[in-house]
Amino acid sequence: MSNEQIQQLLQEQFGDKVKAFEEPYGMLTFEADLDQNIGVLRFLWDKGFQFLTDVTAVHYPAYKDREICVVYHLHNLVENVRLRFKVYAPVAKPDVQSATALFESANWQEREAYDFYGVNFLGHPNLKRIQNVDEMDYFPLRKEFPLEDQTRIDKDDEMFGRGGHFDFGTRNEDGSPALLASTGSA
């Protein structure tokens, strides 16, 4: 099963609800609408992607109304094909449907994403902190706080994706991949 075949199947099933297809390092990567994450997961399960390698999150403060990105890594063990797909949620209401009904391993992975990024996985059987103390009233991996002592010049926030250039020039303001100019080699 090739990346092109998987992309075609997804587009036939979901239309414009799946988009931003890329192949960084040969791994099919795409974005799905927020309300489609379970439908896409179920569809991919039926196509052999029955191993959920990882569920994680990323905080993109510059992506207005889509600051929290939930990332799913799936593996089809029979065909030995991996893929990644993402859904985006606003930081003001980071509600995403839980994948625990399909993948038991999503239980702890979603709890970790909640613990560090504040993603509220709706329908999760036991969504609570697993590594940080319950008394924490913030989510430590969000880029909402300065890194360290602001007088240090060797730890510039821009080096860590906090301020400065927008995503280091790899994304447009809407979150879509930027087209990079090709460097013609002579």
Residue 161, pLDDT > 90, answer no
The per-residue pLDDT for range 110-141, each reduced to its tens digit, is: 999 999 999 999 999 999 999 989 888 888 88
Using CB atoms within 10 Å of the CB of residue 135, give its burial: 0 to 12 exposed, 13 to 18 middle, 19+ buried: exposed
pLDDT of residue 138: 86
- Bridge partners, residue 30, by sequence: 85
The per-residue pLDDT for range 29-61, each reduced to its tens digit, is: 999 999 999 999 999 999 999 999 999 999 998
The residues near 165 (Cβ < 8 Å, ≥ 6 apart) are 158
pLDDT of residue 60: 92
All domains of the chain in start order, with CATH: 15-167 (3.30.460.80)
pLDDT of residue 153: 67
pLDDT of residue 156: 65
pLDDT of residue 183: 43
- As given in the structure block, the two tokens for residue 75 are 């593996």
Would you tell me how many other CB atoms lie within 10 Å of the CB of residue 151? 6
The per-residue pLDDT for range 12-22, each reduced to its tens digit, is: 999 999 999 99
- As given in the structure block, the two tokens for residue 82 are 């991996």
